[in-house]
Amino acid sequence: MTRYAPVFFLFALFSAPALAADPPKVPPYKAVSTEAEALARIEELGGVVRKAGDAGLEVDFHHTGAAITDDHLQYLLSLKAVAVLRLKETAVTDAGLAHVGKLTGLRRLYLEKTAITDAGLKQLTGLKELEYLNLFGTKVTDAGVAQLKALPKLAQLFVAETPVTAAGIVAFQKAAPGVRVVPDPAQERERAKSALETAKTAVVNAEEALATAEKDAAELAPKAAQLKKELDDSTKLLNDAKKAADELKKKADDATKRFKDGGGDKAKKDADESRQRADDAQKAAQAIQTKTDQLRQQSARAGNAKKRAEDAKLALDAARRSEADARKLLDESR
């Protein structure tokens, strides 16, 4: 028979003004004897324990923040087969890694933005199953990373936003060629090269666009008014021609109908001639259409030449800046 227990818990939450104050204090580490107890303590701290693959557990302290300290990691030692451990942005330090080092089945370890250093890494060298190690945003250096070559199964290592240098990574890659390191200096160089190529092409295109625009501005723009007039005239001509063509077509259709309705040879001749005249008129109209379109294009180019030139100049400046950035990137990655 269940009572409404959960609601009373919330009642307690609301009766205290504690809601307005700081979050409740974090329970300190207390030794446990069973796995079930350890699980309960971990959940109390805000950790999440999940199944990870076939054998093994994932313990996720990702959202607990400063609540998790080195001591709390001892709970992990009471769990069977911790395979994945997430400690990103927790208050864990090198001391805590002493406990982590004892989790011999650990396969993935996340230590982003924690206060660990090279000394802490030394304690991990016993993790024979470790495949993935994430040190993003920590203070490890080339020397610390070098120790990791002792990890036989290491396949992925992340050291972005750390003091680790490109040289250090290269050295490590030589010592442990099976490990994929991010960032990878070789890849970064490729990327920089390709970015430079792209930027160079962009500069060339921008220069071309500028040249065309300036040419138009110099040659066509002065003729803008004249071109417009020519366009208007041509348009008028075109409308007349279209009208004429339509009328002739109608005449041709009528003639054809008359023929079909039982006219004789004369009707046929009329129809054919009408048809011919209509087609000619159509062709003439087409030609005027083409010319009008050309004039329209030119008139447009004349009209917006000045603006296009300005835009193209801006684009060229931007492209040149991109090229400079790309060059810098490439130099940095050497």
Partner 1 sequence: MPSTPRIVVALALALLTAPAVRADDPLLERDVLPVLTKQCLGCHGGLRQKGGLDLRTVPAMLKGGESGPAVKARDAAASEMWKRIESDEMPPNDKKLTAAEKAAIKGWIAAGMPTVAQRQKDADPLLATGKKHDPKEVAATIDTHLDKVLNVAKLKPAGRSEDAEFLRRVYLDLTGRVPTAEQAAGFLDSKDADKRAKLIDALLATPQYGEQFGRTWRDWICPPELPSDANGGKQPHTEAQNLGKWLGTRFAAGDPWDAIARDVLTAEGDIKSKPQVIFFALSGEGGKATPAGSARATASLFMGVQFQCAECHDDPYRAWSQKEHWALAAFFAKTTGDFGKVSESRGGGRPEITIPKSAFKNAGNNVPAAFLGEKSPAVKGDALRPAFAEWLTAKDNPYFARAFANRLWFYFFSRGIVNPVDDFRELNPPSHPGLMKLLANEFADSGFDVKHLVRCICNSEAYQRTSRVAAGADEQAVAAMTANFGRMPLRVMTADVLLDSLKLAYGDPKLDLRAIDPKDGNANGESAPVAEPYLEFLRRFGTNEDDATDFTHGIPQMLAMINHPRLLAGSNLLDAKLKAKPAPGADEVVEFLYLSTLSRRPTAAEKAAADRYLKKAPDPTKGYNGVLWMLVNRTEYLLVR
Partner 2 sequence: MSQPLLRRRDLLKLSAAGLLSGASVPWFESLAAAAPALKKPRGKSCILLWMDGGPSQQHTFDPKPNGEFKAAKTAVPGIHIVEQLPQLGQCMDDMVLLRSMKTEINDHYDAKYYLHTGYKRASAFEHPAVGCIASSQLGLPNDDLPAFVTIDAGSDKVNGGRFYRSVPAYLGPQHAPLAVHDPYKGLENLKESGGDLADRLELLGSGEAQFAKEYPLPAVGAKQAAFDRAVRLMRSKRAKAFDLEQESEKTREEYGAHKFGQSCLLARRLVEAGVSFVEVFHRGWDDHEGAAKRIAARAPWMDAGMSALIRDLKQRGMLDDTLVVWMGEFGRSPGDGGGHFCNAWSTAWAGGGLKTGQVIGKTSETGKNAGGTVTERPISAPDYIATLCLALGIDIHQEFTAAGNRPMPLADKTAKPITEILK
- Site residues for partner 1 per CB under 8 A: 1-4
Binding pattern to partner 2, positions 193-212, x when CB under 8 A? -xx--x--------------
Residue 29 or 132: the one with the smaller Cβ distance to partner 2 is 132
Q: How far is the CB of 60 from partner 2 (least distance, A)?
A: 8
Q: How far is the CB of 4 from partner 1 (least distance, A)?
A: 6
Phi–psi pair at 60, nearest 5 degrees: -120, 105
Q: Judged by CB under 8 A, does residue 29 bind partner 2? A: no
Strand partners, 110: 86, 134
Q: Judged by CB under 8 A, does residue 183 bind partner 2? A: yes
Among 77, 81, 143, 160, binds partner 2 (CB under 8 A): 160
Q: Judged by CB under 8 A, does residue 177 bind partner 2? A: no
The per-residue DSSP string of 150-178 comes to G-TT--EEE-TTSS--HHHHHHHHHH-TT
- Please state at what angle helix 265-332 crosses helix 224-260, rounded to 10 degrees: 140
Binding pattern to partner 2, positions 112-141, x when CB under 8 A? x-------------------x-x-x-----
Over its C-alpha atoms, the chain yields an Rg (Å, rounded) of: 39
Q: How far is the CB of 2 from partner 1 (least distance, A)?
A: 5
Among 102, 139, 189, 191, binds partner 2 (CB under 8 A): 191
Q: How far is the CB of 23 from partner 1 (least distance, A)?
A: 18
HEC string of 88-155 equals CCCCCCHHHHHHHCCCCCCCEEECCCCCCCHHHHHCCCCCCCCCEEECCCCCCCHHHHHHHHHCCCCC
- Tell me the site size for partner 2, rule CB under 8 A: 45
Residue whose C-alpha is closest to residue 147's, from 164, 122, 128, 168: 122
Q: How far is the CB of 245 from partner 1 (least distance, A)?
A: 35
Residue whose C-alpha is closest to residue 56's, from 127, 115, 104: 104
Residue whose C-alpha is closest to residue 123's, from 67, 112, 136, 140: 140
Q: Judged by CB under 8 A, does residue 280 bind partner 2? A: no
Helix, strand or coil, per DSSP, at residue 48: strand
Q: Judged by CB under 8 A, does residue 324 bind partner 2? A: no
Instruction: Tell me if 114 sits within 8 A of 136, measured CB to CB.
Output: no
Which helix or strand (DSSP H or E) is residue 3 part of?
none
Residue 21 or 66: the one with the smaller Cβ distance to partner 1 is 21
Q: Which of residues 44-73 bind partner 2 (CB under 8 A)?
A: 48-53, 57-58, 60, 62-63, 65
Residues that bind partner 2 (CB under 8 A): 4, 6-8, 10-11, 13-17, 19-21, 23, 36, 39, 48-53, 57-58, 60, 62-63, 65, 110, 112, 132, 134, 136, 156, 158, 160-161, 182-183, 190-191, 194-195, 198
